[in-house]
């Protein structure tokens, strides 16, 4: 796999991690799950959940 593709994928995962920083998972959890699953699935899940109080 090309290094550019890997960097782009990890960049998308980092963006999803930023979406999750105010959720229960936090940045690290959202980043981890977006690497393991796919960034769009985790992003949709994060957008459907409530921010932590």
Query: 6-49: per-residue pLDDT in tens?
Result: 999 999 999 999 999 999 889 999 999 999 999 999 999 999 98
The DSSP code sequence of 7-36 is HHHHHHHHHHHHHTTTSSSHHHHHHHHHHH
Residue 52: pLDDT band with limits 50, 70, 90: confident
């Amino acid at each position: 796999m090309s290094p550019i593709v890997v960097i782009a994928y990890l960049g998308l995962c980092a963006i999803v991690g930023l979406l999750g920083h105010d959720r229960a998972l936090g940045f690290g959890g959202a980043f981890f799950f977006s690497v393991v699953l796919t960034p769009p699935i985790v992003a949709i899940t994060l957008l459907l959940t409530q921010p932590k109080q």
